[in-house]
Amino acid sequence: MESKMIKGRDILVVGLQPWDIAIGSNCKNVAKELSQFNRVLYVNRALDRITVIRSKDDPKIKTRLKSLRKEADDITNIAPNFWTLDPRTMLESVNWIPLAGVFDFVNKINNKRLAKEINQALKRLGFKNVLLFNDNEFYRGQYLIELLPEVTDCIYYSRDNIATHPFFVRHGKRLEPSLMAKASMVVTNSDYLEDYGRKYNPETYNILQGCDFERFFPETPFTLPEEMKGIKGPIIGYMGALIVSRLDIKILEHIATSRPEWSIVLVGPEDSTFRKSNLHKMPNVYFLGNTTEVRVPQFIQFFDVCLNPQLVNGMTIGNYPRKLDEYMVLEKPVVVTETLAMKLFDGYIYQCKTKEDYVVSIEKALAEDPDSEIRKARKAFALTHTWDTSLSKMSAHYQALKKNK
């Protein structure tokens, strides 16, 4: 069946994650999918002064510095019709500025510096009539619509309520609505975020979550990862970044202490709070570190039960973690924290209100028949959430908007 995606356009992608980020990224998946039918320029995050000082040894920072010093190309062709840009500019670190007026003044300077680099790149690549796809970048992307003459339309993508994150909360609650209102259209991955976006832009639509399932069905069966050898079952696993603003450490501690015979396996990078947590002192908790995207299904395949012990806050209440589809496509039982966004998964996953509920639900999950119909139903449901389906929804709304105008 022919894809209904946007075709034949020059598309500029800006977002919070660079192309070379170590973990999976919706923004990267969207850009890659769009590049099948369009020319795409993906803008990596420009350097700012504090980041350079704090993370000068990070390989990604070293790469950006090489571009800044003109020791490497700023534009890289990584696939047919697909380029990345390392902007040759240094931005001011502005988030600490408390006064809105002062922040906006300096932030506009940052936007102008970034826009200058992007405009030059668009000219060199011959991009015209550009569609700007903005993934949650309401700071550095606040004025790009006005500062990029070739941009004729902007789709703003809200997949997390990022404005409530502690880092962004000071200015995000006014800047994100401002950018939503300026955008041609807003798309989200949950009903909660759709309702939020529609307050500021009537052209707001939930296109649900996409997922790249190709790597979940290899030609040869998955083998047990070396990192998991010697870990006894049952294995209760979590795959993804271990970040205290998103995950409830108390839930994990309660599961580990309540059922010492279970092995709690956590795969993903840790923030400083997780690294200092009591979980590291528990004998049945295993931190396996970060892994590559291609190995994600290899680990999940050997989980007996999959977790998403989400902390409920403004950022997560409407969040649709794509890991749920990654869990379910491998027919795994899934235990999560109940939130508004999780209503979509009613009947497919176990939802918990308390840490005690987690233990009860995991026990139910472990008792499931491996050949039960619910496991097949989970897989079938997950397979409806492809990037082609998600972006075809976006494209249909965009084409309708253009037709009506």
What are the tens digits of pLDDT across the range 297-342?
999 999 999 999 999 888 888 889 899 999 999 999 999 999 988 9
Do 118 and 231 belong together in one domain? no
1 is a domain residue: no
Do 397 and 354 belong together in one domain? no
Do 23 and 56 belong together in one domain? yes
Tell which wins on pLDDT, 205 or 62.
205
Which CATH number covers residue 76? 3.40.50.2000
150-204 pLDDT, tens per residue?
999 999 999 888 888 888 889 999 999 999 999 999 999 999 999 999 999 999 9
Residue ranges of alpha helices (H) inside 21-158 are 26-34, 49-54, 59-68, 100-125, 144-147
**Side chain identity at residue 154, one-letter code:** C
Do 102 and 203 belong together in one domain? yes
Structural domain count, the chain: 2
Of the listed ranges 21-30, 65-74, 219-228, the one predicted with least confidence: 21-30
Do 317 and 291 belong together in one domain? yes
Do 173 and 218 belong together in one domain? no
Do 72 and 187 belong together in one domain? yes
3 is a domain residue: no
Q: How many helices (H) and strands (E) does the chain have?
A: 14, 16
Where does the pLDDT of residue 1 fall: very low under 50, low under 70, confident under 90, or very high at 90 and above? very low
92 is a domain residue: yes
| Residue 27: pLDDT over 60 | yes
Q: Which of 54, 41, 50 is nearest to 11 (CA)?
A: 41
pLDDT averaged over every residue in the chain: 94
229-265 pLDDT, tens per residue?
999 999 999 999 999 999 999 999 999 999 999 999 9
Residue 47: give the domain boundaries: 10-210+386-404
Do 73 and 200 belong together in one domain? yes
DSSP, res 343: G
| Residue 404: pLDDT over 90 | no
| Residue 41: pLDDT over 50 | yes
| Residue 2: pLDDT over 60 | no
Tell which wins on pLDDT, 141 or 293.
141
Do 101 and 24 belong together in one domain? yes
| C-alpha span between 94 and 400 (Å, rounded) | 38
4 is a domain residue: no
300 is a domain residue: yes
Tell which wins on pLDDT, 273 or 2.
273
Tell which wins on pLDDT, 25 or 359.
359
5 is a domain residue: no
220 is a domain residue: yes
Do 201 and 296 belong together in one domain? no
Do 303 and 392 belong together in one domain? no
| Residue 93: pLDDT over 80 | yes
| Residue-wise burial string across 113-124, b where 16 or more C-beta atoms lie within 10 A, e elsewhere | bbbebbbebbee
Are 149 and 130 in contact by the 8 Å Cβ rule? The answer is no
Of the listed ranges 45-49, 139-143, 158-162, 293-297, the one predicted with least confidence: 158-162
Do 275 and 175 belong together in one domain? no
DSSP β-bridge partners for residue 336? 308, 351
| C-alpha span between 68 and 63 (Å, rounded) | 9
141 is a domain residue: yes
